Structure 1
Amino acid sequence: MSKKKKVFKFQLNTGEDVPKFRQLIDSVNHAISENRLSVGDHLPSVNQICKEYSLSRDTVFKAYSILKEQGVIDSVPNKGYFVAREVRRVFLFLDTFKAYKEVLYDSFTKNLPTNVMADVHFHHYNIDVFRRQIEESIGKYTKYVVMPFDATEMHQILEMIPSEKLLIVDWNIYSKPTSNMLYQDFGQSVFEGLQSVSHLIKKYREAVFLYPDYTNHPYESVEYFCKYCIENNIPHVVSRDPENFEVRDGVIYFSVSDRMLGKFLDQCREKKLEPGVNTGIISYNETPMKKFIYKGITVITTDFKLMGQKAAEFVSGDTTMQYCVPTRILVRESL
């Protein structure tokens, strides 16, 4: 005789700021992801939920209506609500929503199976926001795709997430040898990219790395830029002060900030300097517009479309992942 399935119970917390209808939705999705609810299983009636959890009919109807719109549940007159399909929810945690992150996000969502839904959140390099978002997400998602940053508490916070459910993306920091990683190389790949275009860089008398004090870009890129310049006998300097930045004739610039790229182009126009002729620039991270700006901006970039595809591959299955997304240089007229 088969074992009777345990009656489903909603997980509600009266002390949370999360609305009750959202808690009902999260409870159903979480139960499906943990196989406590399967396709065809019946859910408690609206009246039953109202009575057992002291909720209004409007609250319960709102939760069930949203779940129906998402295709998670369905209903039959006089028979009630039941699970219509297995839906898994994924927690996508990005730093900011810049243009190149939009490429990653678009690729990620387009490559997800129809039964996998992604909730995207942003931390903006704020450790308090990062911690709170992770704490509130625990137990609600089948997989976590997280972009970390350099902060002393980061390792402790990441340990809240079961290692088999976590994929660290973009920056390989605070990971373990057994961690799931999908990252880009900010060091050696920069050196090799610059080395491949040395014949263009060496037409300038000096190289400047624009590393403004507000950037969160890994400093590893600066170190390998300096290594490249030293090995090739190129005079170089690291500029950290965005306020006193001045474009100079005969100088090649390396920028990890699109704000600094904008300043560079504005000054070129004002001073009548032609990028690729009088001065040059290499920008970090490809965006859809950089190929069209000022006859084209040379970039060193990873493949964010591939990163999105690989991240979708991780959350869609049960495999481990340790993959370094290739970095390349795209030469355009700014060099």
Structure 2
Amino acid sequence: MAKPRFKIDDTAGQTKLQQLVHSISEAIANGLLKNGDMLPSVNQLSADSGFSRDTVFKAYNILKQRNLIESAPTKGYFVSGDSFKVFMLLDDFSAFKEQLYQSFRQNLPETYSVDLLFHHYNQEVFTQLIENSLGRYSMYIVMNIDEATIHPVLKKIDPHKLLILDMGTPEDEKTNYLLQDFSQSLVQCLDKGAAQLQKYAEMVLVYDEQITPHPSAIVTAVSGFCTKRSIAFKQVSSIHLDQVKENTAYFVIHDADLVEVIKSCRTKNLELGKDVGVLSYNDTPMKQIVGGGITVVSTDFEEMGREAAEFVKNKKKVAKILSTSLILRDSI
């Protein structure tokens, strides 16, 4: 019969059932138990651990439900061939998040399964999804919910298995992250497009911190750029058809606001890149062709997906601020 190749973690506050499930899950995630490895029989593990047969049986059933182990009448219990599961929690669904996910998925072995979920910047949903995922996955890829801090619930995940994406402020060297730079890098992008943007008398930033899940550092960056370049600056929470005016550049975060600006220009016969300038955040395939191409400030989300996949496969430390680029097109 198979001998245990894992140590039971008797962490205080956990029931014996939780200890057993956690210990076997960790052994699988860390490669101590590999695909196809036999597990001790219920009787043997009960004798070796001192836990009741009922506890061992319940633990094995939980692990089977999570697809971490399998059982067969003549073989007993063994590690499932589909035991490497990745938890991926993104903020919301959008074209550039799809690019991220597709790049991530394409750079992982087919044997890895990925559960993709979204928190939509809802604190309660975020916490609940993380809580429900604990102990069920080999690795965790999470888009943090705030720029200023790392959400406290993430401290419940082993830092070696957790990768923070997009935004957040790492608290120590244990944190793995792939983040955007929403401040200095944005200023550099605006400076790169200064010659085109200075054609306009005013720049309007369409941004509301209360409804737009985007770091407020963007306001400081854009207003500072405008002051330096002698361009009038204005911030509005939303944009409507009748508000779009000539000789103005609009910097939009939401695609819905981008659509409003483009529709208004068509209604008023204003030409993008001449009468009205448009700058958008985050590139998508559609922005490459709409209106002759929309100028964007964007991180390479395909690169983010590739880097995240490498972290999952190799479990190597990663602490990186991804570059942000200005992609000039006809819209300014």
Same fold per TM (> 0.5)? yes
- How many angstroms apart in 2 are the aligned matches of 1:254 and 1:199? 16
Q: Aligned partners of 1:284, 1:133: CA distance in 2, in Å?
A: 28
The aligned counterpart of 1:274 is 271
Question: Following TM superposition, by how much is the alpha carbon of 1:139 offset from its aligned partner in structure 2, in angstroms?
Answer: 1.3
1:167-316 equivalent positions in 2, closer than 5 A: 167-173=163-169, 175-212=171-208, 213-242=210-239, 246-316=243-313
| CA-based RMSD | 3.6
**Counterpart Cα distance in 1 of 2:192 and 2:318:** 29
- Partners of 2:23 and 2:289 in 1: how far apart? 47
Q: 2:143 aligns with which of 135, 142, 147?
A: 147
TM-score (norm 2): 0.80
Query: Quick one: which of 14, 27, 32 aligns to 2:28?
Result: 32
Name the structure 1 match of 2:159: 163
Q: TM-score, normalised on structure 1?
A: 0.80
Q: Give how far 1:39 is off.
A: 3.5
Counterpart CA distance in 2 for 1:112 and 1:183 is: 20
Inter-partner Cα distance in structure 1 for 2:99 and 2:148: 29
Single out whichever of 230-239 and 244-253 deviates more from structure 2: 244-253
The 2-side partners of 1:197 and 1:151 are apart by: 26
Distance (whole Å) between structure 1 residues aligned to residue 249 and residue 142 of structure 2: 34
Q: Deviations over 1:211-259 (max 9, x none)?
A: 1452111111121011111111111111124458611000011111111
Question: In structure 2, what is the equivalent of residue 130 of structure 1?
Answer: 126
User: 2:163·2:176 contact (CA, 8 Å) conserved in 1?
Assistant: yes
Unaligned runs of 5+ in 2: 9-20, 42-52
The one-letter amino acid paired with 1:5 is P
**Pairwise CA distance, 1:36:** 6.2
1:104 partner amino acid = L
CA distance in structure 2 between the aligned counterparts of 1:298 and 1:146, rounded to whole angstroms: 28
Aligned equivalents of 2:198, 2:289: Cα separation in 1: 25
Instruction: Report SS of the residue matched to 1:164.
Output: helix
Match of 2:4 in 1: 5
Report which stretch shifted further, 294-303 or 150-159: 150-159
Q: How many residues align?
A: 311
* 1:160 aligned partner, one-letter code: K
CA distance in 2, matches of 1:245, 1:271: 9
Measured after TM superposition, the shift of residue 320 of structure 1 is: 0.8
- 1:301-333 per-residue CA deviation (whole Å, 9 max, x = no partner) reads 000000001111111112111111111111111
> Using a 3 Å threshold, how does the CA distance of structure 1 residues 190 and 123 change in structure 2: closer, same or farther?
same
Consecutive unaligned residues of structure 1, counting only runs of 5 or more, are 10-24, 46-50
Contact 1:8-1:36 within 8 A present in 2 as well: no
Please give the per-residue CA displacement for 1:22-78, whole angstroms capped at 9, x wherever unaligned. Answer: xxx999866632556434334689xxxxx958x9xxxx8xx68x95xx9x7696x85
Q: In percent, how many aligned pairs have the same letter?
A: 37
What SS is found at the alignment partner of 1:159? Answer: helix
Asked if 1 retains the 8 angstrom alpha-carbon contact of 2:147 and 2:169, the reply is no
Q: Which of 109, 127, 135 is 2:105 aligned to?
A: 109
- Displacement of 1:134 in angstroms is 0.8
Q: What SS does the aligned partner of 1:283 have?
A: strand
Shift of 1:170: 0.6
Give the secondary structure class of the aligned counterpart of 1:323.
Answer: strand
C-alpha displacement at 1:116, in angstroms? Answer: 2.5
Answer whether contact 1:30 1:141 (CA < 8 A) is retained. Answer: no
Q: Is contact 2:176–2:318 with CA below 8 Å preserved after alignment?
A: yes
Question: Which amino acid is 2:3 matched to?
Answer: K
The answer (yes or no) to whether the contact 1:207–1:236 under 8 Å persists in 2 is yes
